[in-house]
Amino acid sequence: MSIQRREPAEVTSGFTEHAIKVLLVDDQAIVAEAVRRMLAEEPDIEFHYCQDAAKAIVTACEIRPTVILLDLVMPDIDGLTLTKFLRANEKTREIPLIVLSSKEEATTKAEAFALGANDYLVKLPDKIELIARIRYHSNGYITLLQRNEAYEALVASQKALTNELNQAADYVRSLLPPQLEGDIMTDWEFIPSTSLGGDSFGYHWIDDDHLAIYLLDVCGHGVGAALLSISAINSLRSESLNDVDFHDPSQVLAGLNEVYQMEEHNDMFFTIWYGVYNKKLRELTFANGGHPPPIAIVGGSPETVETVLLNAGGLIIGGLPGEKYEKAKIIIKEFTRLYIYSDGIYEVTRSDGSMLKLDDFIKIVSKLSGIDDASPREIIQEIRRIQDSDVFDDDVSLMEVRFLRPSHS
């Protein structure tokens, strides 16, 4: 016995609108008729009846009720046993169950609740009370269904976003330069965060004697930060800034600052370090736009090295129009290694809860590079050990440049 069923309809909230559906499981047809009449004047409530308790679970899975009225005393399968079966079934375990009994017994009530019943009524209850309880339990169950629906949509959305971020990270990685071999050797590591930051770096020959080296970090995370990073890197690679001499780091940063003002780029800014190595003079000229200072391990031999920070001052790129940037120089000795990095590599939390500081990171690099001849990979592995995690909250970029004395010298 059933009233015509309505198919679920989509509502403007994005959730599925579920009709209130009542399934009565009772071996007495006279009880079913009485309940049907009680609900007949409620147009938004669908009534379904199952007389055979053995078919109750199959029927419930077919019609998907929002509440089940369950008689306590039935032949073959009693209501308490059926309650246990309904709660054990994956498709029915969360549907509200209202047990109907001919007696008001505390021990029976307690057992019904212990097995998973949501309510207990002595049949036949008053019409107003029955309808009120049906609506109460059904509305709670519908809210649960919509919550689950929202959660599934969120999981799907997060999965799609993760896929997009992974694709963006792969694209950013594909733009990173191949390693150099010969008189100048490079090695690098790039680890995008789970939310993708704005790190990017590179190097290219401006001419036969001058090598440009640069690393930048856009504020924020996500595809927008990555796109701005790629755009700025392309401006450097293509040397497309107007009236800029790319041999002059101060001009390069000033040119970037004019093109990438925050108000024209979603209030995003970036930091950058840009250097130009003169191969003939073995001289590195550089400028800094708010970026952590690269670490230079400089000396005539591994035994005589000293640590020098390549910081020329300068504000972030995109902050103030017309900003001027100073440049500085360093002589490249026989044993020189340069480490350029983003702040994601040292802004980490130690296992004891304290924060690793820039000075701590500089000491780590100085020790590992000078004593153990460590690669960027090994330096990052040491940071992972310190934070006791392989996962970084921000993008991590670490680029090493080794300057060797030309073999013909």
Query: Is residue 3 pLDDT above 70, yes or no?
Result: no
The predicted structure's pLDDT at residue 278: 96
Per-residue 3-state assignment (H helix, E strand, C coil) for the chain: CECCCCCCEECCCCCEECCEEEEEECCCHHHHHHHHHHHCCCCCEEEEEECCHHHHHHHHHHHCCCEEEEECCCCCCCHHHHHHHHHHCCCCCCCCEEEEECCCCHHHHHHHHHHCCCEEEECCCCHHHHHHHHHHHHHHHHHHHHHHHHHHHHHHHHHHHHHHHHHHHHHHHHCCCCCCCCCEEEEEEEECCCCCCEEEEEEEECCCCEEEEEEEEECCCCHHHHHHHHHHHHHHHCCCCCCCCCCCHHHHHHHHHHHCCHHHCCCCCEEEEEEEEECCCCEEEEEEEECCCCEEEEECCHHHCEEEECCCCCCCECCCCCCCCCEEEEECCCEEEEEEECHHHCCCECCCCCECCHHHHHHHHHHHHHHCCCCHHHHHHHHHHHHCCCCCCCCEEEEEEEECCCCCC
Q: Which residue has the higher pLDDT, 184 or 7?
A: 184
pLDDT in tens, 236-279: 999 999 999 999 999 999 999 999 999 999 899 999 999 999 99
Residues 342 and 199 sit within 8 Å (Cβ to Cβ): yes
The predicted structure's pLDDT at residue 226: 84
Cα–Cα distance measured from residue 11 to residue 339, given in angstroms and rounded to the nearest whole number: 57
Query: Is residue 5 pLDDT above 60, yes or no?
Result: no
pLDDT in tens, 7-19: 444 444 566 788 9
- In sequence order, what are the beta bridge partners of 299? 335
Q: Which fold has domain 9-150?
A: Rossmann fold (3.40.50)
Listed range (22-31, 92-101, 190-199) with the worst mean pLDDT = 190-199
pLDDT in tens, 320-356: 999 999 999 999 998 899 999 999 999 999 988 999 9
The predicted structure's pLDDT at residue 154: 85
Rounded mean pLDDT, 55-81: 91
pLDDT in tens, 207-217: 999 999 999 99
344: nearest Cα among 392, 293, 288: 392
Q: How many CA atoms lie within 13 A of 36 on its CB side?
A: 15
Domain ranges of the chain: 9-150, 175-403
pLDDT band at 165 (very low <50, low <70, confident <90, very high): low
Rounded mean pLDDT, 106-118: 91
Please name the CATH architecture into which domain 175-403 falls.
4-Layer Sandwich (3.60)
Q: How far is CA 236 from CA 21, 65, 163, 188, in A?
A: 65, 64, 29, 19
End-to-end CA distance of the chain: 99
Query: Is residue 4 pLDDT above 70, yes or no?
Result: no
Whether this prediction's pTM lies above 0.85 is answered by no
25: its two tokens: 């499981």
Cα–Cα distance measured from residue 72 to residue 108, given in angstroms and rounded to the nearest whole number: 9
pLDDT band at 371 (very low <50, low <70, confident <90, very high): low
176: its two tokens: 């990173």
What mean pLDDT value characterizes the chain?
89
